[in-house]
């Protein structure tokens, strides 16, 4: 069975480095051949291209812009009344993806507005379907794959709209504290990795966790996995 392919989420790992572009080289030095990012739009696009080229890593996934994080946004795909903002964000994401040779964009659904019950969010589903249809037509022309990600509403984000699983890109973090996979928690990742191998999973496994300390020091679990598959 072929080994799994891991990519470093640079929005979560190597945060000890203040400049986002510095994290490309650190990921490469740690052994990663691919990276992903939640949001990278504060970084200069030319500098991102330079960092990618110099590090030699592949960018395999970026998110659409979140909207106004300070005002509670976390994506706009399913938020009624924000369709124009979603489309502008999608245009920006496509620009970055093409410049970085990234073939996947996560289309963020967003949060249920305060005061609205989840059971009463039928309008959000209609909005999400409309925006996904629009995005699918745009991405098809660009040769980019659009992905959706359900988020754990019990622990991670109680108000996130999309909370049911779909087949696609996989990301990992220990439960409940979202630290390294080998940290104390509820999930046996060795078992899950073996299961993914048996299933023949060929996509990337994104490392989207919060390091307990220095990122490099917490990668023992990954070095152990790589060594066992040499």
- Residue of 68, 55, 53 whose CA lies nearest to 24: 55
Q: Please, are residues 197 and 4 in contact by the beta-carbon 8 Å criterion? A: yes
180 is catalytic: no
Sheet holding 170-172, edge to edge: 145-147, 104-106, 58-63, 34-37, 5-9, 204-207, 170-172
From first CA to last CA, the distance across the chain in angstroms is: 12
Catalytic residue among 123, 149, 180, 198: 149
- Where would I find the H helices in the chain? 22-29, 45-55, 83-99, 122-142, 189-199, 220-228
149 is catalytic: yes
Distance separating alpha carbons of residues 148 and 142, to the nearest angstrom: 18
Catalytic residue among 83, 208, 216, 224: 208
Distance separating alpha carbons of residues 223 and 229, to the nearest angstrom: 10
Does residue 76 sit in helix, strand or coil? coil
Q: Which residue has the tokens 């996904």?
A: 132
| Active-site residue set | 149, 208
């Amino acid at each position: 069975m072929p080994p799994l392919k891991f990519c470093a989420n640079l929005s979560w790992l190597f945060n000890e480095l203040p400049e986002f572009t510095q994290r490309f080289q650190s990921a490469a030095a740690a052994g990663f051949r691919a990276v992903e990012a939640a949001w990278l739009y504060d970084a200069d696009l030319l500098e991102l291209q330079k960092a990618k080229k110099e590090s030699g890593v592949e960018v395999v996934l970026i998110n659409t812009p979140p909207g106004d994080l300070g005002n509670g946004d976390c994506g706009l795909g399913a938020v009624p009344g924000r369709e124009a903002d979603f489309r502008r964000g999608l245009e920006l994401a496509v620009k970055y993806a093409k410049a970085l040779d990234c073939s996947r964009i996560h289309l963020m659904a967003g949060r249920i507005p305060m005061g609205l019950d989840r059971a009463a969010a039928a309008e959000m589903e209609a909005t999400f379907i409309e925006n996904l249809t629009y995005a699918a037509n745009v991405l098809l022309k660009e040769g980019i794959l659009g992905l959706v990600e359900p988020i754990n509403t019990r622990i991670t984000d109680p108000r996130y709209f999309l909370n049911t699983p779909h087949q696609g890109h996989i990301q990992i973090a220990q439960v409940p504290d979202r630290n390294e996979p080998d940290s104390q928690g509820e999930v046996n990742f060795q078992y899950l990795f073996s299961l993914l191998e048996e299933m023949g999973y060929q996509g990337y496994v994104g490392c989207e966790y919060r390091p307990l300390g220095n990122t490099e020091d917490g990668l023992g679990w990954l070095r152990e996995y790589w060594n066992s598959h040499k």
